[in-house]
Amino acid sequence: MQTVHALSPSQLTEFLLNVAITRPVFIWGPPGVGKSALVEQFARSVGLDCVSLLGSQLAPEDLMGVPQIVDGVSRFCPPAMIARKEPYCIFLDELNACSQDVQKAFYSLIHDRRVGEYTLPEGSIVIGAGNRAQDSAIVKPMSSALMNRMVHVHMKVSASEWLTWATANAIHPLVLEYLQQRPDHLWSSPPKHEEPFSTPRSWHMLSDALHAFGDAPSASMVEALAYGCLTPQHAAQFKAFGKLAADRHRLEAIFKGEARWPHAPEDRDVLYFLAQAFRARLIKALPQDKNANTGELQAVVHRSKAMLKDLAQISLEMAQIAVAEEAGQTLPAWYMIEVVRDLPRLVERQAKTA
């Protein structure tokens, strides 16, 4: 399934409020972005119970029910969790992980809101969800007949919306402060091999585990938890951030000239984290159009180039990381021209290693 246009959680909620009440909706998205939680939240917002069915664990009879003889005639009796008298939201999670037989059992439920002789109460809502083939998840081709019975929408991660939610839901301070500095680490693409990877769900798991250790988990426990929940590269930087627990605002202090880049060999992981955070801050702060610069931004440009020079004296590799392209994100072209002019050593080294 090709992603044409994806919606953030708040946009998707608005979409459901206007579309799901009239037509069945199918939500596409990678694992761990909060599809299930969003549907449950949506159901509560419209005053309906949410009944979740996990497609990957269903057999046709779990939906259709089993036959019983009534007055000499066999009738299929749907399970009690489906055959309700009051309207409700039925959530078909992992719908595209179902077998073809189960998919066929859903045809009438999705299109006609009916299972055998049972019809969903007026005002009931049908929503499906599933991962995409490129997510290395368990998915099966969805039949064209099933595809054509639903309105399809894609869900994307929004770091700003997640951080707002996290602030109000007691997410561990270390997780919250890290992602405030590195919002680009909230989600990463599922890997092609078996290893943890970063998603809103995995950061939530890490937060819960850190809370379970109390106020001061040891550095070794923080490291073990990070590597057990996150993309390895993110885990390494989270570990370094943990070492900065007593001085989490060091990058700001370096910007103000109140502190220096760490230069001890044992602090290399901390230096790597700060270089990455420095780059992320520049990408956020610097406009693409040089003419949009203000006096305040000129001060940031001047100070950042001085910081790059100091960083290069400690580690040319780290300075190169601070200005390199990563995941399709680059510093503005006009800024890089100034870096080339004022710090040619960085570019010369990159050209030799290219």
Helices 159-168 and 9-19: angle between axes, nearest 10 degrees: 90
Digit-by-digit pLDDT tens for the chain (354 residues) are 555 689 999 999 999 999 999 999 999 999 999 999 999 999 999 999 999 998 877 877 777 777 777 777 777 777 888 889 999 999 999 888 888 888 888 888 888 888 877 899 999 999 999 988 888 777 888 888 889 999 999 999 999 999 999 999 999 989 998 999 899 999 999 988 899 999 999 999 999 999 998 877 888 899 999 999 999 999 999 998 887 765 556 788 898 888 899 888 888 888 888 888 898 889 888 888 887 766 778 888 899 999 999 999 999 999 998 988 876 788 999 999 988 888 877 755 544 444
Q: Which residue has the tokens 């680009």?
A: 184
What per-residue confidence (pLDDT) applies to 351?
47
Q: Which residue has the tokens 């819960």?
A: 208
What per-residue confidence (pLDDT) applies to 277?
85
Interacting residues of 340 by C-beta distance below 8 A, sequence separation 6+? 346, 347
Q: How many CB atoms lie within 10 A of CB 217?
A: 19
pTM exceeding the 0.95 threshold for the entire prediction: no
Per DSSP, the three-state class of 310 is helix
Q: Which residue has the tokens 């719908």?
A: 95
Segment holding 130, helix H or strand E: strand 125-130
What per-residue confidence (pLDDT) applies to 269?
83
Per DSSP, the three-state class of 65 is coil
H helix intervals, 230-294: 232-243, 250-255, 268-285
Q: Which residue has the tokens 């956020």?
A: 284
The answer to whether residues 265 and 249 touch, using CB atoms and an 8 Å cutoff, is no
What per-residue confidence (pLDDT) applies to 240?
86
Interacting residues of 78 by C-beta distance below 8 A, sequence separation 6+? 63, 64, 65, 115, 116, 118
Distance CA 53, CA 32 (A): 18
